[in-house]
Each structure stands twice: as structure tokens, then as C-alpha cells.
Amino acid sequence: MRDAEPPVLPRPRMPLSQRAKIFIPFDPLKGYQEALRAKEREAEARMDDRVQIDDPA
């Protein structure tokens, strides 16, 4: 019985750490991240206003 040889790959495999980087720029919902940041800024501003009102100093 002959040992089976592994298949020949067309190019070397990419390390997983590098492979993950190729998907980072993918943005399926255009503008969603910016909309989230805007909401976060609004919420932080409201929290800052509350702290100033509640602060007896």
C-alpha cells in the first residue's frame, strides 16, 4: 500500500493572524459605525449635563 501524498496547494497558506486582517475593512452597513459614534457622543453629553446638575459643588 502506497502512502497518499498531500495535495499540492497553488500557494502557501496564509497565517490566521494575517487572514483576519483582510476582513477588517469590510463594512456591510455603510455609515452605521458613524451613526453609533454620534449616538454615543449624544449620550455622553447628556450624562455630562446630568453630572453638572447633580453636582452640589
Report the C-alpha gap between 23 and 31 in whole angstroms: 17
- Report the chain's mean pLDDT, rounded to a whole number: 79
Residue 35 grid coordinates: 451613526
User: Could you tell me if residue 38 is inside a domain?
Assistant: yes
Q: What percent of the chain has pLDDT above 90?
A: 19
pLDDT at 10: 84
What total of structural domains would you count in the chain?
1
For 9-21, write each residue's pLDDT tens digit: 788 888 887 877 7
Provide the residue range defining the domain that includes 47.
28-57
User: Could you tell me if residue 39 is inside a domain?
Assistant: yes
Instruction: Give the chain as a 3 state SS string.
Output: CCCCCCCCCCCCCCCHHHHHHCCCCCCCCCCHHHHHHHHHHHHHHHHHHHHHHHCCC
pTM comes to: 0.41
For 3-49, write each residue's pLDDT tens digit: 788 877 788 888 887 877 777 666 778 888 899 999 999 999 988 87
Tell me if 18 sits within 8 A of 24, measured CB to CB. no
